[in-house]
Amino acid sequence: MIHKSAVIDKKATLDSTVTVGPYSVIRDHVTIGPGTEIGSHVTIDRYTDIGSDCRIFNHASIGAAPQAIKYQGEKTRLKIGNRTVIREFATLNRGTSFGGGITEVGDDNFLMAYTHIAHDCKTGTGVIMANNATLAGHIVCGDHATIGGLVAVHQFVQIGAFSYVGGKSAVVKDVPPYMIAAGDRARLHGLNKVGLKRHGFSNETLSSLKKAYRIIFRIGLTLNEAIERVSAEVEQVPEVTFLIDFIKESSRGITR
């Protein structure tokens, strides 16, 4: 059902099962997949693709031009995956030509009220952002990362998979996967054991990650020394290998 007060451009493509609430505006070159529900007073700007079975609540702003001074109106995109929930007053911006041209939000994300995803960000599957959490440009969030309320993440930072960022944190360096980070500026506070158990990680994997965490972050070694010692002393389960690779590939430096 599309409310009679909704304004939908003729060049927008909506599946026949999409519902649109009162006074929402959907511009040209927008595609919306089956079963998606658009609330009232939602604005969906041009060059936005939304998957199936999403729920977008009232007053959300989806696909507006990036808040980047260098942006000059180039054709860029926002892509939102399937089953993603976007709550009231959230803002998601398109990409920039100098940052890859696309902002991507993965499947099964839960973006609470007043969250912001800036240009050229990429979120994986199952990412949760609590109220007022904000991502500056060019940020990558791994699968099942959780970002607490009132968190501000600096541009170009990477948030590792299955990590947890506590509320009111300022994150200026990469957060390793599987870890808890919090504070201003954010520091590590151990393994995200509760989150990992909820996602079915085995006790053996948790034990290996705990050993790796202690060696890398708690006994005063340089990162190179710590990586060598983890390789020699810790069982190389896939999660430990993924953690080490994340650290090696970091360009902003690691939250410690």
- Report the half-sphere exposure of 100 (CA within 13 A, side-chain side): 17
Q: How confident is the model at residue 51 (pLDDT cuts 50, 70, 90)?
A: very high
59, 119, 138, 154: the active-site residue: 119
Q: Is the dihedral of CA 89, 90, 95, 99 positive or negative?
A: positive
* C-alpha–C-alpha distance, residues 107 and 102, integer Å: 16
How do beta strands 30-32 and 48-50 pair?
A: parallel
Catalytic residue among 41, 120, 142, 195: 120
Partner residues linked to 80 by β-bridges: 50, 105
Tell me which of 137, 142, 148, 160 is the catalytic residue.
Answer: 137
For residue 152, the model assigns a pLDDT of 98
Helix, strand and coil percent figures for the chain, each rounded to 5: 20, 30, 55
pLDDT > 70: percent of the chain: 100
Phi–psi pair at 65, nearest 5 degrees:
-60, 145
Domains observed in the chain:
7-138 (2.160.10.10), 197-249 (1.20.1180.10)
Q: Helices 203-217 and 238-249 sit at what angle, rounded to 10 degrees?
A: 30
For 62-84, the pLDDT digits (tens) are: 999 999 999 999 999 999 999 99
Q: Say whether 144 is catalytic.
A: no
Tell me how far apart the alpha carbons of residues 238 and 218 are, in angstroms, rounded to a whole number: 22
| pLDDT for the residue numbered 105 | 99
Is this prediction's pTM over 0.75?
yes
Active site residue 190: no
Reported as a pLDDT band with limits 50, 70 and 90, residue 148 is very high
- pLDDT tens sequence across 183-220: 999 999 999 999 999 999 999 999 999 999 999 999 99
Q: Is 167 tagged catalytic?
A: no
> What is the DSSP secondary structure assignment for residue 86, as one 8-state letter?
E
Q: pLDDT category, 5, cuts 50, 70, 90?
A: very high
> Which pLDDT tens digit goes with each residue over 12-38?
999 999 999 999 999 999 999 999 999
